[in-house]
Chain A
Amino acid sequence: MNVLTQLAILLLICFVGEGVALLLPIAFPSSVISMILLFLLLLTGALKLRQIEDAADFLTKNMAFFFIPAGVEILENYKPVADKILPLLAVLVLTTVITFAVTAGTVHLCLAVQRRLGGGARA
């Protein structure tokens, strides 16, 4: 299918996702709602993989690129915390290592328990 049509489908889903976000009582990010919507559409078969595959592939393969403008905004926003940069960086590095270790450890442990309980088909 034409890549522009594929992109149109993805953007339409995101547009609907933004609408859903407006209706929710809590602040929930529309991009995650759109992700859930797209997953459900694929799961139910309402949308076929080939109808969006090329555009989705392009977007996910080049994901880092789309973060560039948000990253450049750092230029205008570091001033209020300029004197706290070092402790903030320390927090950033330490929490990243801690979060990684705790998550990997928990998944590892759960997988071991699940496999011991047999098969792992059910949990």
Chain B
Amino acid sequence: MTAWTDSTLFGLVLSLLAYALGVFLNRKTKLPLLNPLLIAVTAIALVVTLLQIPLDNYRKGGQFISALLAPATAALAVSIYNQRRVLKQYFVPVLLGCLAGSLASMGSAYLLCKAFGLGDALVATMLPKSVTTPIAMAVSETLGGIVPVTVAAVILTGILGAMAAPLLIRLFHVTDPIAQGVAIGTCSHAIGTTKAMELGELQGAMSSIAIGVAGLITVLISLFL
């Protein structure tokens, strides 16, 4: 079962099909729980596990997809640029929102980990989970966390944020698009931002800004830990 999967195209085709399935199911059911990324990852995990395909075979194609993660993150600058006037006008609320959010994220992660009796390594693993993957990896490593688990926590947080954003907006009566965007970006980085983009360009831009600002703040806070 491994020879035919030993191709760069295997990982690429499997990812594209799994994502197409995820988008299809999400559109068909309109259920936030059926997040396209979550469906795609689950589908690939099932295929690879059930057919006993080595993960390295998947990685051959997967690495090309991951290579576009950096330019995709950088491209968020375009939506920030398009919203530069709004950003200038609301610079202080955005900055203070990201600061308060980052402190709340790291503080609550610390206290809850301690409350559940999780060790220091797991605390360091969970502290940066709200920020974008590359920043979270760097912070986790510096603090002595388990980096691959941080990556998993970051992605799960992102998916959770994307799924829960519409619900949280209603729950906390967040009517302002600026507050919506900043909150989504601060608690669930780029994956959450995909949902913010769906809510509107203003929300998307604010969420994109929050990825960078909250990431920066988290790095700065971690320098003092």
Which A residues contact B (CB, under 8 angstroms)? 7, 10-11, 13-14, 17-18, 26-32, 34-39, 42-43, 49, 52-53, 55-57, 59-78, 80-81, 84, 87-108, 110-111, 114, 120-121, 123
Contacts and interface: CB of A to CB of B under 8 A. Distances in A.
Q: Sort chain B's interface into a size bin.
A: 35 or more
Contacts of A107: 93-94, 96-97, 176, 178-179, 182-183
Interface in B95-127: 96-101, 103-105, 108-109, 112-113, 116-118, 122, 126
A105 to B, nearest CB: 7
Contacts of B76: 35, 60
A46 to B, nearest CB: 12
Interface string B31-56: 00001110011001100110000010
A56 B210 CA distance: 18
Nearest to B65: A69
Given A42-B81, A68-B41, A95-B109, A59 B71 contact: yes
Contacts of A90: 112, 116
A74 B69 CA distance: 17
Nearest to A108: B179
B206 to A, nearest CB: 9
Nearest to B195: A64
B134 interface: yes
Contact of B41 (A26, A53, A66, A74): A74
Interface string B156-168: 1110111011001
Contact of B142 (A27, A64, A93): A27
A81 B149 contact: yes
Interface string B55-78: 100110011011011111111111
